[in-house]
Amino acid sequence: MDKITPSSIDTDGLVTRSRPGPQTRFALVDVNNFYCSCEAVFDPRLAGKPLVVLSNNDGCVVARSAEAKAMGIKMGQPWHQVPRELKAQGLQALSSNYTLYADMSHRVMTILGGMAPRQEVYSIDECFLDFSGMGLITTSLRDHGLLIRNRIQQWTGLTVCVGVGSTKTRAKLANHIAKKNPQWAGSFDLESRSSDEQQHWLSSLDVGEVWGVGGRLTAQLKAMGIHTVQDLKDANPKRIRSHFSVVLERTVNELNGISCLDLEELSPKKQQILSSRSFGKQVTSEADLREAVLTYLARAAEKLRAQGSIAGMLQVGIRTNPFKPDTPQYHKALSCKLAEATDDTLVLGQYAVRMLRQLYREGFVYQKASIMLSDLSPRTERQITLFEDTAGREKRERLNATLDTINRRYGSRTLQTAGAGIHKTWSMKRGNLSAAYTTDWRSLPTVQ
Amino acid sequence: MRRSANAAHLGVAHPEPMAQRLPLIASPSPQAGFPSPAADYVEETLDLNELMVRNPPATFFVRVRGESMVDAKVFEGDVLSVDRSIDPRPGHIVVASYSGDLYVKRLSRLAGGRLALVSENAALRDEYPILYLDQAEDCTLWGVVTGSVRRF
């Protein structure tokens, strides 16, 4: 089982990209209860306990440990609606610690990257691996999945499940089977089973388990007599296409082992950058709003520079809380075409402040502000204007680059414009945030 | 040690996480003016990570509290590098979670073959009892300590 080591796999970027064929093998690897598990790695008291992680502002449940799921806590459930008895029974809640989750995700993805020729990071806790061409190796892909699981478990303390299939859709189903059926110990290769057995597994799964088949589609399919994954697999692709879409036809093909979805290549650059948050407390004054807008703007501009783009369009929006209909409501956004596309935090900030002045109305309780940068183009294709102050521009670019470097090194918002405010009384509620165990020297776990 | 948070869509697998380093200059580069007599000798900058961290995705840092391991030269406030990818064996200094707390101790095989977490402070032996692995409700060997950093 230890035959495969990262070094025995060609991880060179020049691996030949064979078209999907009979040898195509994908794996979907995902981390079980990712956010909750990250917390338990550094606070062992949380292991095996009912735990939820809450969304921004500690509003809703966004992650649940196995024990919290067993208590019947639902995904997205507002925390204040969770019955008091459950809290008395030991249910704990933590604020989202995205700094920690991002670092742990990066570790998991780095390890997985060393265990397959190609990798597509699908989300913070899910990853597709392309095992194509690994058929020659003397171990089974299920065993390789177990090796992956053991290694992630030992190196990071997190538990993953691995599902292997000839298409991404089948790999996703195999992952589901691995997760729900303990006899596979978290790793299942659908293709290694006999066709009878495959049929057994696919018939036992509800059609709603298929990747991309949502609630409404599930209902429509069931009305047509398609209840299980096997039913959908057996459906006539042309009929599915005429009733639904070419996308679902492709899914039927994928279920039948015809790979239509390849690993995504490098993600296209974002066409717009949005930065918006709800406030942690009531914001009424223009001064507080300005701080929030400039803070979100700084973040958006940082992302813009990180992807090497400049923005030609800026939108600023503010709004009151639509879920409090008994309070006076106001929401408005303004868009503005910039005289010159830019990635300069200070220039964008001047526009934003001017727009906010027009947007702001006294007498409302604001709940959210948003910034959107759009009309993006590569920085290298910037139009040079006739009366450009080249020296001044270069100085500005250096200033922005320094801003980014310092904030990357010492934590975001170490350095910011004064307008973004120091105390930030409006910032998010994160009442029960765990430490940045892996990214801040002051927050390391202590050992005695 | 800060890494990019978003590693999305890597396309091709990265066998190694990318450490931030200055470029390696092995050969003299074309230049105008007076050549620097040192140019041919600039090879690489020293990076403490390289000394402390063999396997970055499996290495974590913890901070020491208390005096239980002073005889092993592990002192209060030290930052320890902990490599989870090493299989813990008796004799290793390990970090272990024992009944909900994280400890740094010597993993030892005691008489009768029992595995235990043993403190090393001869002067305060009574304050730090031996933690037997088979007596814990819940004990996980968290990782193997590979180094210590202390600032004065």
| Cβ contact A44–B97 (<8 Å) | yes
Q: Is B4 an annotated catalytic residue?
A: no
Query: By CA distance, what is A98's nearest residue in B?
Result: B5
Alpha-carbon distance of B13 to A127, in angstroms, equals 11
| Cβ contact A155–B66 (<8 Å) | no
Q: Do the beta carbons of residue A321 and residue A365 sit within 8 Å?
A: yes
Alpha-carbon distance of A380 to A393, in angstroms, equals 14
Does residue B122 carry a pLDDT above 80? yes
Q: Average pLDDT per run of 10 along chain A, which is 448 residues long? A: 35 36 83 96 95 86 95 91 91 91 92 90 89 70 95 97 96 96 96 95 95 88 95 94 90 92 59 80 87 90 88 90 82 86 91 92 89 85 67 77 72 65 66 88 93
**Which among B68, B81, B119, B148 is annotated as catalytic?**
B68
Show residues of chain A in contact with B60, CB under 8 Å.
Answer: 437-438, 445
> What are the phi and psi torsion angles at A122 (to 5°)?
-95, -35
Pairing of strands B93-98, B79-83: unpaired
The pLDDT of residue A278: 80
How buried is A137 (Cβ within 10 angstroms: 0-12 exposed, 13-18 middle, 19+ buried)? middle
pLDDT tens, A27-60?
Answer: 999 999 999 999 999 999 999 999 999 987 778 8
Show residues of chain A in contact with B138, CB under 8 Å.
Answer: 44, 47-48
Count residue pairs from A and B with Cβ separation < 8 A: 131
Interchain CB contact of B22 with A (< 8 Å): no
Does residue B42 carry a pLDDT above 60? no
The pLDDT of residue A263: 72
Query: SS3 of A56, please?
Result: helix
Does residue B14 carry a pLDDT above 60? no
| Cβ contact B63–A444 (<8 Å) | yes
Query: By CA distance, what is A102's nearest residue in B?
Result: B5
The pLDDT of residue B24: 43
The pLDDT of residue B75: 97
The pLDDT of residue A8: 33
What is the distance of C-alpha A86 from the center of its chain?
A: 29
| Prediction ipTM score | 0.75
Contacts (Cβ under 8 Å, ≥6 apart) of A326 = none
DSSP string spanning A28-41?
EEEETTHHHHHHHH
Q: What residues are paired with A165 via a beta bridge?
A: A26
Mean pLDDT throughout B54-81? 96
Residue B119: pLDDT band (50, 70, 90) is: very high
| Cβ contact A447–B8 (<8 Å) | no
Residue B37: pLDDT band (50, 70, 90) is: low
| Cβ contact A156–B58 (<8 Å) | yes
Q: Do the beta carbons of residue A191 and residue A164 sit within 8 Å?
A: yes
Most confident of the following: A319-333, A423-437, B19-33, B70-84: B70-84
The pLDDT of residue A14: 29
The pLDDT of residue B5: 36
Alpha-carbon distance of A383 to B115, in angstroms, equals 70
Query: By CA distance, what is B70's nearest residue in A?
Result: A448
Show residues of chain B in contact with A47, CB under 8 Å.
Answer: 97, 138
| Cβ contact A110–B17 (<8 Å) | yes
Query: By CA distance, what is B80's nearest residue in A?
Result: A447
Query: By CA distance, what is A14's nearest residue in B?
Result: B12
Show residues of chain A in contact with B57, CB under 8 Å.
Answer: 106-108, 110-111, 155-156
Short-list A348, A345, A349, CA closest to A302: A345
Quote the minimal CA–CA distance from A300 to chain B in Å.
15
Which pair of tokens denotes residue A367?
């709940």
Of residues B136 and B8, which shows the higher confidence score? B136
Pairing of strands B59-64, A446-447: parallel
Short-list A135, A174, A142, CA closest to A255: A174
Element (DSSP H or E) covering residue B142: strand B139-149
**Which among B81, B105, B119, B148 is annotated as catalytic?**
B105
Quote the minimal CA–CA distance from B74 to chain A in Å.
10
The pLDDT of residue A387: 66
The pLDDT of residue A267: 46
The pLDDT of residue B50: 85
| Cβ contact B12–A119 (<8 Å) | yes
Interchain CB contact of B137 with A (< 8 Å): no
DSSP conformation class of A60: B
Of the candidates B8, B14, B60, which has its C-beta nearest A113's C-beta? B14
Interface residue of B4, B81, B97, B141 to substitute, partner A, most A CBs within 10 Å:
B97
Alpha-carbon distance of A68 to A58, in angstroms, equals 17
The pLDDT of residue A27: 96
Compute the Cα dihedral for A358, A364, A366, A367 and give only its sign: negative
The amino acid at residue A75 is M
| Cβ contact A48–B84 (<8 Å) | no
The pLDDT of residue A383: 65
Q: Do the beta carbons of residue A143 and residue A124 sit within 8 Å?
A: no
The pLDDT of residue A247: 87
Of the candidates B10, B66, B142, which has its C-beta nearest A113's C-beta? B10
Q: Is B68 an annotated catalytic residue?
A: yes
Query: By CA distance, what is A444's nearest residue in B?
Result: B62
pLDDT averaged over every residue in chain B: 80
The amino acid at residue B69 is M
Show residues of chain A in contact with B62, CB under 8 Å.
Answer: 444-447
Q: Do the beta carbons of residue A51 and residue A67 sit within 8 Å?
A: yes
Of residues B95 and A414, which shows the higher confidence score? B95
Most confident of the following: A398-402, A434-438, B27-31, B91-95: B91-95
Short-list A130, A57, A20, A47, CA closest to A367: A57
Alpha-carbon distance of B116 to B135, in angstroms, equals 9
Four-CA torsion A238, A242, A248, A254, nearest 10 degrees:
10
Alpha-carbon distance of A303 to A269, in angstroms, equals 11
Neighbouring C-beta atoms of residue A340, cutoff 10 Å? 13
Quote the minimal CA–CA distance from B37 to chain A in Å.
30
Residue A375: left if φ>0, alpha if ψ -120 to 50, beta else—which one?
Answer: left
